[in-house]
Amino acid sequence: MTDRKNVRPTAELQAADLAHHLHPFTDHTELAGEGGPRIITHGEGVWLWDSEGRRLLDGMAGLWCVNIGYGRPELGEVARRQMDRLAYYNTFFKTSHEPVVELSERLAGLLPDGLDHVFFANSGSEANDTAVRLVRNYWARHGQPERHVIISRRHAYHGSTILAASLGGMASMHDIPGIPVPGIVHAEPPYSWEAGADLDDPEFGARAADAVEEAILRAGADSVAAFIGEPVMGAGGVIVPPPGYWKRVQEICDRYGILLICDEVICGFGRMGEWFGAQSYAIRPDVMTMAKGLSSGYQPISAVAINARVAEPLLDRVGRFPHGFTYSGHPVAAAVALENLDIMARENLLGHVRVTAAPALQTGLATLRDHPLVGEVRGAGLVAALELTADKASRRPFDPAGSVATRVRDLCFERGLVTRAVREGLVFAPPLVISQDEVGELVTILKSCLDDVWAAL
C-alpha cells in the first residue's frame, strides 16, 4: 500500500486549491467561505478518509461509480502492467490492441441480446454525445436526415458537454446561453412525488409514458430520431419508474419507429442487481451508453453499445462514421475495466446486491418513512432517495427550497456519512460491496441527522 499521507499540510493544499483549482458544479464563493475543500486521502471498501484523519462512509460511491469499492490493489497492478507493455495506442486507423478487443468481446457477452458492437469514449457525457451522433447518422444514412430530434425528459441528467447538458432536463443546466441546442425536446418525467401521484400507481405509469408520446407528437413524429432515458433516473433525484412505464414507452418508440437509447451510466454494472437496468425493466434498447461502473471509476472510460439495426450503416455500407476520441478504447482503461468486470463476476456482486445490499438499504431507509421530515422513501436496487417535505399531505417544499435537505446533508458529512441533496431530497448509491452492517451504520447516522435537523427547525 502506498503512503496514505499527503506531502503538504491540509491548510496549504486548501489555499492552493482555492487559488488555482476550478471545481465542477461548485459555488466558489461558498467554498472559499468554508476555508476550501475537504481533502480526501484514501479509501477502502465503502470508506473514505480525509486529510484530518476523519473516516466517512461513502453513501454515494464517489459519483455513483465506485461499484467494487475503494482500495483494490489488483486494478493498480493491471494498470501498471499495461502501461509498461503498451501505455497508449489509438484505434483509429485500422489498428487495435488486446485490451480493447477483449473488453469489446466481454461487453458483447454481458449486454442484452442484440447489442453486439461497442464504441469507446472517456466519459458518460461523451458516450451520450456519441449515441446522438450514431442515431442521427443512422437516419441520415436511411435517407431521412430530417429525423434528428431527440426526446429526453425534464429532470434528466445526461452529462455536461453542450449536447449532453442539452439532453439533460434540469433547468439550472440550461442557464448558460445556447443551451439547450436545437433538436432536443423534453418530456415530463415519471416523477410521481412531484405529480401528486402514488409511487406504485399503474395508472400514473401509463400517464407518465404517454408524456413521451406527447413530446414525440409535439416535435412531429417524422422528425424524431430517438428517445433517451435512464432506466431509473439517478442524478435527477432517483426517480423510479412507476409500474408499466417502460413497457409503454417501449411500445410508443416501436409504434413510431423511434430508436431507444438507454443511458446506463448509473444503472449499468450491477446497481440494479442485474448487469444492466434495461434487464431489470425489460427494455430493449437499440443503443446503450455506459461509464462509471464499467471501471468502477478506477479509470475514465465509457462505451456505447448498438444493435444490428444501428450498426448496419456502419458495418455494411461504404463510408466512415466521422467520430472518435484520442483515448477511445484506451489500453490502460480497457485493461482496468476488464479486471473490474472480473472482480464483479468473481465476487458475485450482482448476487450480493440482489440478496443482501439492496434489500438492506431499501428496508433500512423504509424505517424512516414515518419521520416527520420524510415525505417519501423510494428506490430500486442499490439507489434510493428520501423526499423531504414541510407538509406530508400537500407535499409542500421547504422555504427556501432545498434548504433542509442541504442541512441534513451537511450534518451527515460532519457525522461521517456522504450523501447528496437533490431538490428536497437526499440520494444514496453506495458501493455495491456495502455490507448489511454498513447499511445499518448509514441509516443510523442519517436518522440522527434527520432527528437533529427536525428538532432545530
For 428, the grid coordinates are 444514496
Q: What is the nearest approach in angstroms of ligand PMP to the Cβ of residue 401? A: 22
- Using alpha carbons, select from 245, 246, 233 the residue that is nearest to residue 204: 245
The answer to whether the CB of 407 falls within 8 A of the CB of 446 is no
User: What CA dihedral angle connects 117, 121, 126 and 128, to 10 degrees?
Assistant: 20
Q: What is the nearest approach in angstroms of ligand PMP to the Cβ of residue 122? A: 8
- Pick the closer one to ligand PMP by CB: 61 or 311: 61
Q: Could you tell me which residues come within 8 angstroms of residue 64 by beta carbon, excluding any fewer than 6 positions away?
A: 234, 235, 265, 266, 271, 292, 383, 429
Q: What is the nearest approach in angstroms of ligand PMP to the Cβ of residue 108? A: 22
Q: What is the nearest approach in angstroms of ligand PMP to the Cβ of residue 151? A: 16
Q: What is the nearest approach in angstroms of ligand PMP to the Cβ of residue 164? A: 6
- Pick the closer one to ligand PMP by CB: 374 or 427: 427
End-to-end C-alpha distance for the chain, whole angstroms: 45
What residue number has its CB nearest to ligand PMP?
124
- Pick the closer one to ligand PMP by CB: 259 or 422: 422
- Pick the closer one to ligand PMP by CB: 250 or 289: 289
- Give the number of other Cβ atoms within 10 Å of residue 170's Cβ: 18
- Pick the closer one to ligand PMP by CB: 137 or 302: 302
Q: What is the nearest approach in angstroms of ligand PMP to the Cβ of residue 191? A: 15
For 199, the grid coordinates are 409511487
For 251, the grid coordinates are 411500445
- Give the number of other Cβ atoms within 10 Å of residue 181's Cβ: 11
List contacts with ligand PMP (CB under 6 A).
63, 123-125, 128, 157-160, 230, 234-235, 263, 265-266, 291
- Pick the closer one to ligand PMP by CB: 164 or 453: 164
Strands 425-428 and 383-388 turn out to be: antiparallel
- Pick the closer one to ligand PMP by CB: 263 or 438: 263
Q: Could you tell me which residues come within 8 angstroms of residue 318 by beta carbon, excluding any fewer than 6 positions away?
A: none
Taking the C-alpha atoms of residue 384 and residue 359, their distance in angstroms, rounded to an integer, is 11
Q: What is the nearest approach in angstroms of ligand PMP to the Cβ of residue 420? A: 11
Q: What is the nearest approach in angstroms of ligand PMP to the Cβ of residue 162? A: 12
Q: What's the length of the chain?
A: 457
- Pick the closer one to ligand PMP by CB: 170 or 265: 265
- Give the number of other Cβ atoms within 10 Å of residue 90's Cβ: 16
